[in-house]
Amino acid sequence: MSEAIDWARVRADFPLLTREVHGRPLIYLDSANTGQKPAAVIEAVDDFYRRHNANVSRAVHALGSEATEAYEGARRKLAAFLNVHANDLVLCSGTTFALNLVAYSWALPRLKAGDAILLTRMEHHANIVPWQIVAQRTGAVIRVAEIDERGELDLERLFAQMTPDVKLLAFTHVSNVLGTVNPAREICREARRRGIVTVVDGSQAAPHRALDVAGLGCDFYAITGHKMAGPTGTGALWARREHLEAMPPFLGGGEMIREVRFEGTVYNDPPHRFEAGTPNIAGFVGLGAAVDYLSGIGMAAIEAREKELLAHATAALSQVEGLRILGDAREKAAVISFLVEGAHAHDLATLLDLEGVAVRSGHHCAHPLMQHYGVPATCRASFAFYNTVEEIDRFVEALQKVRRLLA
C-alpha cells in the first residue's frame, strides 16, 4: 500500500528535483513528456562508462563479455517487468522506432488496397504518421475510432468498426493528453476474434502501472524508456513470436546477420534481427537499473500514489475560475490537460515557468485530438510518484496568480 512507503525518501532519490528554476524551487509537472531519473539510474550509466565500456557481441575480451551481459541482462529485466519472454523483446530507441518497425516490417509487406487500418482519435503522432506512410504506399485506408464526452473510446462504435477489411488496429494504452486508460484487454480480445492484428502504444502505461503484456492478448506492444525513469534513446517492442519470425528486417547492418556474402545474407534470429548496429548499451544498462528501481517501489504502490495525486490535483484545479479539464475518464492516469478561459496555453505555461512550475503547453503531438476539441493547444500537468501534494497546492496557487495576471 502507498501508506507504507516513505515518499519523501523516494523523492530524495531524484537529484534534479532539488534544483531551483528562476530562483524558485522546481515543481516538475511534465513527467508524461519525460520522467526524471533516480540516482541509481544515473550511477548505473556512469559506472558502465567508467568500468565496463565495450561493444556488445563482437568482442571475446572481458569488457566485451561484461558489456554484452549487461545489455542482455537489461533485456531480461525489462522482459520480466513486462511479463514477456526476453527473446520476443526487440530493444530499440523508443516507441517511435518500435511503431515504425511494425509499420515497415509487418504492415508494409502485407497490406494492400481494400484493407483498412483502424486508429483512435487520441493517438500520438507516433501512432498515426507511420500508418499514414503505410496507407500511402499500399493503398490501404485509415479509419478513426472516436471518443465520447468523457474522453473515453466509444467501445460499441469501435467494435462495430472492426469490419472484415480492417487488418490492423493501433491504439494507445493510456492517452498522453487525456490520461484515459483504455481497456486494452477487452479491445484486443474483440480484435483477435475478428482476426485483426493489434498494436498497442504503451508509452504512457509502462511508467504508471504493473503490466502483463503477454496477458493483454495484443500482437505488438511498444514502450519507451525515458518516461519510465530510464535514459532517453531506449525502448522496446514486444511482438508475438510468429510475427517476429515472419518479419523481414527494418534496418540492415552489423549484429542483425548470421552470415553475409555478396550473393546474399542470412539474417540473425529475432530479436537481434531487428537490432542492426551498435545499440545504446549504456542507455539500456540505465533502463535495467530503472526497472529495478521501479520494481523496488512496486508498480501497484506507484499506481496508488499517483491516483492520490491525481484526485488531489483534480479537486484543487476545479476550484480555479474559468478552468476546464479535458477528459474525465473513469480509468485515468495522472495527466491533466486543461484550458483557462481568456488565457493562451503558452502564456500560462510561460508564466508558470517563472514561478518554478514546469507544465507542458502545446498540441502534445496529438493534432487530431486538438482538432476534436477545437483548440490549438492545451496546458498539461502530469504527475509522477515523486511529486507531492504540497507541490500541487503551490502549482494551483501559482496558476491562480498567473490567471489574474492574464485576465
Tell me which residues touch ligand PMP (CB under 6 A). Answer: 94-96, 124, 126-127, 172, 176, 201, 203-204, 224, 235, 365
Where does 164-293 show beta strands of DSSP type E? 166-172, 197-201, 220-224, 235-239, 257-261, 264-267
**Other CB atoms closer than 10 Å to residue 124's CB: what's the count?**
21
Residue from 92, 218, 365, 379 carrying the catalytic annotation = 365
CB of 101 to ligand PMP, least distance (A): 12
* 92 annotated active-site: no
**Other CB atoms closer than 10 Å to residue 54's CB: what's the count?**
17
**Other CB atoms closer than 10 Å to residue 365's CB: what's the count?**
17
How far is Cα 221 from Cα 227, in angstroms, rounded to an integer?
Answer: 15
Minimum CB distance to ligand PMP smaller for 35 or for 271: 35
Minimum CB distance to ligand PMP smaller for 228 or for 281: 228
| Helices marked H in 278-388 | 281-297, 299-317, 345-354, 367-373
**Other CB atoms closer than 10 Å to residue 19's CB: what's the count?**
10
CB of 145 to ligand PMP, least distance (A): 16
Q: b/e for 125-161, b at 16 or more Cβ within 10 A? A: ebbbbbbeebbeebebeeebbebeeebbbbeeebeeb
Minimum CB distance to ligand PMP smaller for 32 or for 398: 32
Length of the chain: 407
Minimum CB distance to ligand PMP smaller for 68 or for 96: 96
How far is Cα 308 from Cα 183, in angstroms, rounded to an integer?
Answer: 21
Minimum CB distance to ligand PMP smaller for 105 or for 204: 204
Residue nearest to ligand PMP (CB): 94
CB of 201 to ligand PMP, least distance (A): 5
Minimum CB distance to ligand PMP smaller for 92 or for 340: 92
Beta carbons within 8 Å of 378's beta carbon, 6+ residues apart: 177, 326, 337, 338, 339, 345, 361, 362, 364, 370
How far is Cα 98 from Cα 126, in angstroms, rounded to an integer?
Answer: 10
Catalytic positions are 365
